[in-house]
A = this chain, B = another copy of it.
Amino acid sequence: MTVTTLTPNQVQTYLAEIFPQFDATITHIDRDGATLELPTNERHLRPGGTVSGPTLMALADAAMYVAILGNLGKVALAVTTNLNINFYRKPLPGRLRAEARILKMGARLAVGDVLIYSEGLDDSVAHVTLTYSIPPNSEATD
């Protein structure tokens, strides 16, 4: 059985405390992953009307972090050590959706990948692989 340590609302509240500028909405979270949505606006756009690469990377990073929180509980000190992103379709202005999947939740490293979707397109627009380092003295609390 899959048990969720924290609810989306609990994680959303926790993130608002530590990332006041975090403007994505958590729509799903369980031990295997998390889904986030981000309404893009002018500040996320590039010339030509496409969403900027850093916006996609930040969203993927947040989605993986949320998936780790959902799995481990509050781990404020987990840090990204590796991020690999392939951009293969042009995202449209509008809502983005990031679906994070945990591949390995280890004692020291968490590995996962994220598919990013753009409102109005069926296929994903970018794929991201991430590794987070879990600090040795991390106390999973909930």
Contacts and interface: CB of A to CB of B under 8 A. Distances in A.
Contact of A86 (B46, B131, B136): B131
A88 B82 CA distance: 9
Interface string A6-50: 000000000000110100000000000000000000010011000
Contact of A129 (B53, B84, B89): B84
Contacts of A19: 46-47
Interface in A103-142: 103-104, 106, 108-109, 111, 113, 115, 123-124, 127, 129, 131, 133, 136
B111 A86 contact: yes
A71 to B, nearest CB: 14
A72 interface: no
B83 A85 contact: yes
B53 A80 contact: yes
Nearest to A127: B103
A81 B88 CA distance: 6
24 contacts: A18-B47, A19-B47, A47-B76, A52-B58, A53-B61, A54-B57, A57-B57, A57-B83, A79-B87, A82-B82, A83-B84, A83-B85, A84-B129, A86-B129, A88-B104, A88-B106, A88-B109, A103-B124, A108-B136, A111-B127, A113-B113, A113-B129, A129-B129, A136-B136
